[in-house]
Structure 1
Amino acid sequence: MTDNRVSPAFVADERAMLDGWLDWHRETLAVKCAGLSEERLRERSVPPSSLSLLGLVRHMAHVERVWFRRVLNGEDVPFIYRRDDDYDADFNDVDTASAEEAFATWRAEVEVAREISARVPLDAIGKQQRHGQDVSHRWILVHMIEEYARHNGHADLLRERLDGAVGE
């Protein structure tokens, strides 16, 4: 697996630390997917789970959009993969999904999220509530690190099952 990640600094201010860890986890997902064919990325390798690496990439594109564009920035943008009849379509509709499209969408959402985040102080409150609660930018960054860390653990298992590749 190709690994182009930049390790987070051991000493940094809070903003640099949060940004560094989030970017490291974003790139960890890319590392877990590197070098696999579209068919392998679609494969649900840990039955009975419907998780696949491609589903995780699609899901994280959705998560980036929701937290940064909708909640933090207050944009009225549509969901990417979710359908009215399938809340988990990002995971479930991968059998014919394009890996190229999914990665391009995810990368584009990451870039927009970075741009929004860079303009907003950590203490800023999102323009849209989540479950009836105000949400700070700081909370969103910590949550995104947690979200990627959890799903990167899933990606570890999926990738090891696909071809035996392991790694941090």
Structure 2
Amino acid sequence: MNWRAPEITRVHHPVTFTEFGERALADAWLDHHRETLLWKCGGLTADQLRSRCVEPSNLSLLGLLRHMAEVERDWFRTRFAGEQVPYLFCADDDLTAEFDKVDKADAEADHATYLREIDRIRQVLAPRSLDETFVDPRRKITMTLRWVYSVMIQEYARHNGHADLLRERLDGTTGH
């Protein structure tokens, strides 16, 4: 199959949101990081996306995309919204499958899964306030949606750094 990840043009530039409210800024930063990960994957073949090219790490761009779909689902839908949704790529007895099982993964399908998950999360979050609270089912403490946004932004920032290195090793492409 000759599928390549779609190339994207990033449109969310949070520095242009300095006069907007906190929610608009939080959404812009999160979308900026989502777009950055997709941008790092853009134009690559399924084999390139599956490549673990920074040894001895088991990271791949496809693994990062799968991981972020899982993390977004876990924090926004399962924990915050209380939805009873299954894992996308993992299982209770294999919580690192999103990274470990990319060798035979369908990159096109996994890319589409990521996009669908982000769309669903946007729908879930649209009517919600950053001040809304929930009890985290794992930690048994009250948290706000604001806190979850902070977690997600830092999670993307960290993994987008990994994506920078992976992409540069794959084809020399750099940039942020």
- TM-score higher than 0.5: yes
Which residue of structure 1 aligns with residue 11 of structure 2? 5
Q: Distance between the aligned counterparts of 1:85 and 1:68, measured in 2?
A: 22
Q: Aligned-pair distance for 1:136?
A: 0.7
Q: After superposition, where does 1:58-97 map in structure 2 within 5 Å?
A: 58-97=66-105
Q: What is the identity, as a one-letter code, of the residue corresponding to 2:12?
A: V
Which residue of structure 2 aligns with residue 103 of structure 1? 111
Instruction: Kindly indicate whether the alpha-carbon contact (under 8 Å) linking 1:59 and 1:90 is maintained by their aligned counterparts in 2.
Output: yes
Q: Aligned-pair distance for 1:128?
A: 4.2
Q: TM-score, normalised by structure 2?
A: 0.91
Which residue of structure 1 aligns with residue 4 of structure 2? none
Instruction: Kindly indicate whether the alpha-carbon contact (under 8 Å) linking 2:70 and 2:88 is maintained by their aligned counterparts in 1.
Output: yes
The answer to whether the aligner puts 1:148 opposite 2:149 as a matched pair is: no
Instruction: Kindly indicate whether the alpha-carbon contact (under 8 Å) linking 1:123 and 1:136 is maintained by their aligned counterparts in 2.
Output: yes
- Of 28, 31, 53, which residue of structure 1 is paired with 2:39? 31
Q: Aligned-pair distance for 1:90?
A: 0.3
Q: Distance between the aligned counterparts of 1:28 and 1:145, measured in 2?
A: 12
Instruction: Kindly indicate whether the alpha-carbon contact (under 8 Å) linking 1:159 and 1:166 is maintained by their aligned counterparts in 2.
Output: yes
- Tell me, what secondary structure is at the counterpart of 1:107? helix
Distance 1:75 1:2, change over 3 A: closer
Q: Which runs of 4+ in 1 moved over 4 A?
A: none
Q: TM-score, normalised by structure 1?
A: 0.95
Gaps in structure 1 of 5+ consecutive residues: none
Give the % identical residues: 50
Which residue of structure 2 aligns with residue 45 of structure 1? 53
Gaps in structure 2 of 5+ consecutive residues: 1-6
- Tell me, what secondary structure is at the counterpart of 1:6? coil
How many residues align? The count is 168
Q: Aligned-pair distance for 1:127?
A: 5.3
Q: Aligned-pair distance for 1:79?
A: 1.1
Q: What is the identity, as a one-letter code, of the residue corresponding to 2:130?
A: L
- Of 138, 146, 162, which residue of structure 1 is paired with 2:146? 138
Q: Distance between the aligned counterparts of 2:164 and 2:9, measured in 1?
A: 14
Q: Aligned-pair distance for 1:54?
A: 0.2
Q: Structure 1, residues 85-115: CA drift from partner, whole Å, max 9, x if none? A: 3210000000010111111111111111111
Instruction: Kindly indicate whether the alpha-carbon contact (under 8 Å) linking 1:70 and 1:128 is maintained by their aligned counterparts in 2.
Output: no
Q: Aligned-pair distance for 1:6?
A: 2.2
